[in-house]
Amino acid sequence: MEVCQMITVGVFDSGVGGKSVVNAIEAALPDIKIVYAEDKENVPYGTKNPDELYRLVLPILNMLSKQGCDVIIIACNTVTTTIIERLRLELPLPLIGIEPMVKPAAEMSKTGIIAMCATPTTLQSARYAWLKENYAKNIQVLEPDCSDWASLIETDQLDHEIIKSRIEEVCKKGADAIVLGCTHYHWIEHDIQMIADEYGAIVIQPEKPIIEQLKKVLSQLS
Protein backbone atom coordinates (compact mmCIF):
# COMPACT_ATOMS: atom_id res chain seq x y z
CA MET A 1 0.00 0.00 0.00
CA GLU A 2 1.32 3.41 -0.91
CA VAL A 3 0.93 6.03 1.79
CA CYS A 4 1.25 9.75 1.14
CA GLN A 5 4.43 11.08 2.73
CA MET A 6 2.42 13.97 4.16
CA ILE A 7 0.47 11.63 6.41
CA THR A 8 1.40 12.12 10.06
CA VAL A 9 0.56 9.52 12.69
CA GLY A 10 0.63 10.33 16.37
CA VAL A 11 1.47 7.57 18.82
CA PHE A 12 0.81 8.05 22.53
CA ASP A 13 1.64 5.99 25.59
CA SER A 14 2.40 6.75 29.21
CA GLY A 15 6.07 5.83 28.75
CA VAL A 16 8.47 3.61 26.81
CA GLY A 17 5.87 0.96 26.01
CA GLY A 18 4.54 2.75 22.96
CA LYS A 19 7.98 3.00 21.41
CA SER A 20 7.76 -0.69 20.52
CA VAL A 21 4.60 0.16 18.58
CA VAL A 22 6.44 3.02 16.86
CA ASN A 23 9.22 0.63 15.83
CA ALA A 24 6.69 -1.81 14.38
CA ILE A 25 4.92 0.93 12.40
CA GLU A 26 8.18 2.33 11.07
CA ALA A 27 9.18 -1.13 9.84
CA ALA A 28 5.82 -1.72 8.14
CA LEU A 29 5.10 1.80 6.85
CA PRO A 30 8.43 3.62 6.43
CA ASP A 31 6.97 6.49 4.39
CA ILE A 32 4.76 7.99 7.08
CA LYS A 33 5.81 10.55 9.66
CA ILE A 34 5.37 9.50 13.28
CA VAL A 35 5.11 11.87 16.22
CA TYR A 36 5.53 10.13 19.57
CA ALA A 37 4.27 11.54 22.85
CA GLU A 38 4.58 10.11 26.33
CA ASP A 39 3.84 11.18 29.89
CA LYS A 40 6.90 10.23 31.89
CA GLU A 41 5.96 12.54 34.75
CA ASN A 42 2.87 10.47 35.49
CA VAL A 43 3.88 6.95 34.46
CA PRO A 44 2.66 4.32 35.28
CA TYR A 45 -0.98 4.71 34.26
CA GLY A 46 -2.04 1.21 35.31
CA THR A 47 -3.22 2.15 38.81
CA LYS A 48 -4.94 5.45 37.93
CA ASN A 49 -8.72 5.85 37.71
CA PRO A 50 -10.53 6.92 34.51
CA ASP A 51 -11.00 10.54 35.58
CA GLU A 52 -7.29 10.90 36.37
CA LEU A 53 -6.41 9.36 33.02
CA TYR A 54 -8.77 11.67 31.14
CA ARG A 55 -7.27 14.74 32.81
CA LEU A 56 -3.75 13.63 31.88
CA VAL A 57 -4.35 12.30 28.38
CA LEU A 58 -6.68 14.80 26.73
CA PRO A 59 -4.18 17.71 26.70
CA ILE A 60 -1.51 15.47 25.18
CA LEU A 61 -3.80 14.25 22.42
CA ASN A 62 -4.90 17.82 21.73
CA MET A 63 -1.23 18.72 21.37
CA LEU A 64 -0.72 15.91 18.84
CA SER A 65 -3.77 17.09 16.92
CA LYS A 66 -2.42 20.65 16.79
CA GLN A 67 0.91 19.30 15.53
CA GLY A 68 -0.87 18.08 12.41
CA CYS A 69 -1.46 14.40 13.15
CA ASP A 70 -4.00 12.80 10.83
CA VAL A 71 -4.65 9.89 13.17
CA ILE A 72 -3.54 9.01 16.70
CA ILE A 73 -2.74 5.54 18.01
CA ILE A 74 -3.32 5.23 21.73
CA ALA A 75 -0.66 2.64 22.49
CA CYS A 76 -1.98 2.05 25.98
CA ASN A 77 -4.41 -0.69 26.94
CA THR A 78 -5.29 1.13 30.16
CA VAL A 79 -6.38 4.31 28.37
CA THR A 80 -8.15 2.42 25.59
CA THR A 81 -10.19 0.20 27.89
CA THR A 82 -11.28 3.07 30.14
CA ILE A 83 -11.65 6.39 28.32
CA ILE A 84 -11.19 6.11 24.55
CA GLU A 85 -14.86 6.81 23.85
CA ARG A 86 -14.71 9.98 25.96
CA LEU A 87 -11.59 11.04 24.09
CA ARG A 88 -13.21 10.41 20.70
CA LEU A 89 -15.90 12.92 21.60
CA GLU A 90 -13.23 15.59 22.11
CA LEU A 91 -10.82 14.93 19.23
CA PRO A 92 -11.44 15.90 15.57
CA LEU A 93 -9.40 12.99 14.15
CA PRO A 94 -9.51 9.17 14.23
CA LEU A 95 -8.22 7.41 17.34
CA ILE A 96 -6.97 3.83 17.14
CA GLY A 97 -6.83 2.05 20.46
CA ILE A 98 -5.00 -0.99 21.74
CA GLU A 99 -6.94 -3.37 23.94
CA PRO A 100 -6.35 -6.84 25.41
CA MET A 101 -6.44 -9.59 22.78
CA VAL A 102 -9.02 -11.74 24.53
CA LYS A 103 -10.73 -12.95 21.36
CA PRO A 104 -7.63 -14.17 19.48
CA ALA A 105 -6.26 -15.83 22.60
CA ALA A 106 -9.54 -17.62 23.25
CA GLU A 107 -9.69 -18.79 19.65
CA MET A 108 -6.10 -20.06 19.76
CA SER A 109 -6.36 -21.90 23.07
CA LYS A 110 -6.62 -25.65 23.01
CA THR A 111 -6.70 -26.07 26.79
CA GLY A 112 -9.47 -23.53 27.34
CA ILE A 113 -7.20 -21.56 29.64
CA ILE A 114 -5.49 -18.27 28.78
CA ALA A 115 -3.46 -15.75 30.77
CA MET A 116 -3.89 -12.00 30.64
CA CYS A 117 -0.89 -9.91 31.66
CA ALA A 118 -2.30 -6.43 32.17
CA THR A 119 -2.47 -3.50 34.56
CA PRO A 120 -4.93 -3.33 37.47
CA THR A 121 -6.98 -0.56 35.83
CA THR A 122 -7.27 -2.52 32.58
CA LEU A 123 -8.37 -5.65 34.43
CA GLN A 124 -11.00 -3.66 36.34
CA SER A 125 -12.37 -1.87 33.26
CA ALA A 126 -15.84 -2.37 31.84
CA ARG A 127 -14.37 -2.87 28.37
CA TYR A 128 -12.21 -5.78 29.54
CA ALA A 129 -15.22 -7.34 31.27
CA TRP A 130 -17.15 -6.97 28.01
CA LEU A 131 -14.35 -8.65 26.03
CA LYS A 132 -14.34 -11.62 28.40
CA GLU A 133 -18.13 -11.89 28.42
CA ASN A 134 -18.35 -11.85 24.64
CA TYR A 135 -15.26 -13.81 23.61
CA ALA A 136 -14.20 -15.96 26.55
CA LYS A 137 -17.44 -17.28 28.04
CA ASN A 138 -16.16 -20.84 28.08
CA ILE A 139 -12.53 -19.91 28.69
CA GLN A 140 -10.74 -19.63 32.01
CA VAL A 141 -8.81 -16.36 32.08
CA LEU A 142 -5.91 -16.24 34.51
CA GLU A 143 -4.71 -12.79 35.58
CA PRO A 144 -1.23 -12.94 37.12
CA ASP A 145 -0.09 -10.03 39.27
CA CYS A 146 1.73 -7.70 36.88
CA SER A 147 0.88 -4.54 38.80
CA ASP A 148 4.49 -3.45 39.22
CA TRP A 149 5.84 -4.51 35.82
CA ALA A 150 5.29 -1.24 33.93
CA SER A 151 7.09 0.90 36.48
CA LEU A 152 9.94 -1.61 36.77
CA ILE A 153 10.30 -1.83 32.98
CA GLU A 154 10.20 1.97 32.76
CA THR A 155 13.18 2.18 35.14
CA ASP A 156 14.90 -0.95 33.76
CA GLN A 157 14.69 -2.73 37.10
CA LEU A 158 12.55 -5.76 36.28
CA ASP A 159 14.09 -8.97 37.62
CA HIS A 160 13.95 -11.94 35.24
CA GLU A 161 13.03 -14.16 38.20
CA ILE A 162 9.86 -12.13 38.75
CA ILE A 163 8.83 -12.68 35.14
CA LYS A 164 9.69 -16.35 35.32
CA SER A 165 7.67 -17.02 38.48
CA ARG A 166 4.52 -15.29 37.20
CA ILE A 167 4.63 -16.91 33.74
CA GLU A 168 5.47 -20.36 35.06
CA GLU A 169 2.57 -20.11 37.47
CA VAL A 170 -0.02 -19.60 34.72
CA CYS A 171 1.60 -22.15 32.43
CA LYS A 172 1.51 -24.79 35.16
CA LYS A 173 -2.21 -24.06 35.56
CA GLY A 174 -2.71 -24.90 31.87
CA ALA A 175 -2.60 -21.56 30.10
CA ASP A 176 -1.48 -22.12 26.51
CA ALA A 177 -1.97 -18.53 25.29
CA ILE A 178 -0.45 -15.58 27.14
CA VAL A 179 -1.64 -12.10 26.22
CA LEU A 180 0.54 -9.04 26.71
CA GLY A 181 -2.12 -6.52 27.66
CA CYS A 182 0.24 -3.60 28.25
CA THR A 183 2.67 -2.21 25.67
CA HIS A 184 5.41 -1.93 28.30
CA TYR A 185 5.46 -5.73 28.35
CA HIS A 186 6.38 -5.84 24.66
CA TRP A 187 9.94 -5.04 25.72
CA ILE A 188 10.13 -8.34 27.62
CA GLU A 189 8.18 -10.39 25.08
CA HIS A 190 11.27 -12.45 24.20
CA ASP A 191 11.88 -13.31 27.86
CA ILE A 192 8.25 -14.30 28.36
CA GLN A 193 8.22 -16.41 25.20
CA MET A 194 11.36 -18.27 26.26
CA ILE A 195 9.63 -19.29 29.50
CA ALA A 196 6.36 -20.09 27.73
CA ASP A 197 8.18 -22.25 25.17
CA GLU A 198 9.05 -24.71 27.92
CA TYR A 199 5.33 -25.35 28.39
CA GLY A 200 4.25 -25.14 24.76
CA ALA A 201 2.41 -21.85 25.30
CA ILE A 202 2.26 -18.96 22.84
CA VAL A 203 2.61 -15.25 23.58
CA ILE A 204 0.56 -12.70 21.65
CA GLN A 205 0.54 -8.91 21.46
CA PRO A 206 -1.33 -6.49 19.17
CA GLU A 207 1.30 -4.74 17.04
CA LYS A 208 0.41 -6.51 13.78
CA PRO A 209 -3.37 -6.00 14.14
CA ILE A 210 -2.79 -2.34 15.00
CA ILE A 211 -0.75 -1.86 11.83
CA GLU A 212 -3.52 -3.46 9.77
CA GLN A 213 -6.08 -1.17 11.39
CA LEU A 214 -3.82 1.83 10.74
CA LYS A 215 -3.59 0.89 7.05
CA LYS A 216 -7.39 0.78 6.84
CA VAL A 217 -7.74 4.20 8.44
CA LEU A 218 -5.04 5.72 6.24
CA SER A 219 -6.68 4.32 3.10
CA GLN A 220 -9.88 6.09 4.11
CA LEU A 221 -8.01 9.36 4.57
CA SER A 222 -6.30 9.27 1.18
**Helices 77-90 and 126-135, axial angle in degrees (round to 10):** 110
What integer pLDDT is reported at residue 221 of this predicted model?
86
Mean pLDDT (whole number) for 87-97: 97
What integer pLDDT is reported at residue 158 of this predicted model?
82
Mean pLDDT (whole number) for 8-31: 96
One-letter amino acid identity for 79?
V
First to last CA, the chain: 11
List, for residues 160-183, the tens digit of each pLDDT value. Answer: 898 999 999 999 999 999 999 999
What integer pLDDT is reported at residue 143 of this predicted model?
98
The CA-atom distances, in angstroms, between 85 and each of 141, 165, 185, 189 are 25, 36, 24, 29
Residues whose CB is less than 8 angstroms from the CB of residue 154 and which lie 6 or more positions away in sequence, other chains included? 15, 16, 40, 43, 44, 184
- Residue 14 DSSP code: S
What integer pLDDT is reported at residue 6 of this predicted model?
77
The CA distance from 19 to 1, in Å, is: 23
Kindly tell me if the per-residue pLDDT of 37 is higher than 80: yes
The CA distance from 62 to 56, in Å, is: 11
What integer pLDDT is reported at residue 111 of this predicted model?
98
One-letter amino acid identity for 81?
T
- Residue 176 DSSP code: -
Q: What angle do CA 165, 179, 28 make, to 5 degrees?
A: 125
Closest by Cα among 139, 78, 131, 135 to 114: 139
Domains of the chain plus CATH, in order, are 8-99+207-221 (3.40.50.1860), 102-204 (3.40.50.1860)
User: Where is 140: in which H helix or E strand?
Assistant: strand 140-142
List, for residues 197-215, the tens digit of each pLDDT value. Answer: 999 999 999 999 999 999 9
Kindly tell me if the per-residue pLDDT of 4 is higher than 60: no
pLDDT bin (cut points 50, 70, 90) of residue 2 is very low
Catalytic center residues: 76, 182
Question: pTM above the 0.75 mark?
Answer: yes
Half-sphere exposure of 182 (CA within 13 A, CB side): 32
What integer pLDDT is reported at residue 156 of this predicted model?
87
The CA distance from 203 to 171, in Å, is: 11
How confident is the prediction for the chain on average, in pLDDT?
95
One-letter amino acid identity for 203?
V
Residue 194 burial (CB count, 10 A): 14
Percent of the chain with pLDDT over 90: 91
Kindly tell me if the per-residue pLDDT of 1 is higher than 80: no
Q: Are 28 and 60 contacting, i.e. CB atoms less than 8 angstroms apart?
A: no
pLDDT bin (cut points 50, 70, 90) of residue 5 is low
